[in-house]
Structure 1
Amino acid sequence: MKSRLSHLHYDEMTKPQQLVLEDILKGPRKNLDGPFLAWIHSPELANHAQKLGAFCRYHTQLPLLLSELAILTTASLWKSQAEWQIHEPIALEAGLSPSVIEAIRLEQVPEFENEAQSLVYQLTKTLYETKRVNQGLYDQALAQFGESALVELVGILGYYALVAMTLNVFAVDRETGQPLPFIEP
């Protein structure tokens, strides 16, 4: 991966950077892919963000398919190339329909298999576009997921918006050789 930021070599890192890097490499990610390539430049931010990210990605009450749906919708709305490239295969493996994934990428309303998927998508789009969630949609999401999982869903959205902004500002590129999922603005 490459970015606009200077490349850090382990032996040139500060002790806090080395400690955060070691912590990230020991965790479930095992690499500096995505925003960590940037965040390692601020080890305190990296430390807190990677812990929040580990929870949001691996430990919420939401099934992986719904988390990945929220992440891909976030990536699409932010036109975050690397975020999409990292999470599209995870979403497919989790069972999200290829037609749903493609519709999200193209900013079309997907045809969902069930109400839970539709609610995650609606809540995500509504929150990002209007900065609010109306009472009717809130009540539906609350009935579907419960308060705790709904709070976690909003946490996923906030965390992955931070990821998307980081990837976009610092031009993090996975250098896959594949076409980018979104046209660069």
Structure 2
Amino acid sequence: MTNTTPRFPHLPVEALSPAQKVVYDKLVNGPRKGIRGPFGALLRNPQLADRVSQLGDSVRFESSLPDTLREMMILMVARFFKARYEWHAHGMILKGLGFADEKIAAIGHRQRPQGLTEDETIVFDFVTELLNDGEITDPTFDKAMARFGEVTVLDILATAGYFGFVSMILNAIRLQVPEGGMIMPED
């Protein structure tokens, strides 16, 4: 990609329609505490923005997944889709959770990090197969089901799917990593 000009400029709050303002207020006053990621662009379609935020809130803030596992998965999905903004945003969150820099770097180089916990290994293998093969082998699926159960396995699938969706939007709208942000390794 040679052109990095963002495709959707910032919408000033005073220029929002009444429907956009309702969604804006929900985003700013909800668990996201602001307009980040795809939502600056999605606000142009307030009904879509609202629905996407509802699904995202469920996946991100109401999930049965522990924070570290969820954020590791999001980073894997961001790397798969080469979503630089997503890499930055969730890499910073994962780092803040105490996930080692070396592990983040390995994910950035599309490698399994050394020193993963058993749960991290199960999730890493599950998501790697899902992303790379478009499916999950029976042994990997069965291991995840035995460890986490149906609800959490569904949360893993929903998280990977949702953040794949978000990553594609972020790439298409060319949302930029803030200056000094976490940079994803190049292929």
Counterpart CA distance in 2 for 1:146 and 1:179 is 34
Q: Distance in 1 between matches of 2:47 and 2:181?
A: 33
Task: Report the alpha carbon displacement of residue 12 of structure 1 after superposing the two structures with TM.
Answer: 2.1
Partner SS, residue 167 of structure 1:
helix
Q: How does 1:11-50 map to 2 (within 5 A)?
A: 11-50=14-53
**Structure 1 Cα separation of the partners of residues 181 and 9 of structure 2:** 24
CA distance in 1, matches of 2:29, 2:137: 41
Q: Distance in 2 between matches of 1:175 and 1:97?
A: 22
Shift, 1:178, TM fit: 4.4
Deviations 1:125-162 (A, max 9, x none): 11111111111111001011100111011111111111
Match for residue 125 of structure 1?
A: 128
For 1:99, the equivalent position in structure 2 comes to: 102
Give yes or no for contact 2:88–2:181 (8 Å, CA) kept in 1: no
RMSD: 1.6
Choose which of 163, 171, 175 in structure 1 pairs with 2:174: 171
Percent identical residues: 29
Q: Kindly indicate whether the alpha-carbon contact (under 8 Å) linking 1:70 and 1:121 is maintained by their aligned counterparts in 2.
A: yes
In structure 2, give the amino acid aligned to 1:66: L
The match for 1:147 among 150, 154, 158 is: 150
CA distance in 2, matches of 1:122, 1:113: 11
Q: Which amino acid aligns with 2:115?
A: F
Cα distance between partner residues in 2 of 1:176 and 1:30: 21
1:52-106 deviation digits (Å, cap 9, x = unpaired):
1112111111110000110010111111111011111211222322211110011
Structure 2: gaps of 5 or more residues: none
Q: Tell me if structure 1 keeps the 8 A contact 2:74–2:90.
A: yes
1:90 alignment partner in structure 2: 93
Aligned-partner SS, 1:146:
helix
| 2:141 matched residue in structure 1 | 138
Q: C-alpha displacement at 1:173, in angstroms?
A: 0.8
- The one-letter code of the counterpart of 1:135 is D
Asked whether the 8 Å contact 2:28–2:35 carries over to 1, the reply is yes
1:81 aligned partner: 84
Task: Tell me how far apart the structure 1 counterparts of residues 150 and 180 of structure 2 sit (CA, whole Å).
Answer: 42
Cα distance in 1 for residues equivalent to 2:45 and 2:151: 31
Asked whether the equivalents of residues 76 and 104 of structure 1 are also in contact (C-alpha less than 8 Å), the reply is: yes
Would you say the 8 A contact 2:92–2:182 is kept in 1? no
Greater shift after overlay, 149-158 or 89-98?
A: 89-98
In 1: Cα distance, 2:9 partner to 2:179 partner: 20
Matched with 1:54 is 57
TM-score normalised by L of structure 2: 0.91
Q: Greater shift after overlay, 144-153 or 12-21?
A: 12-21
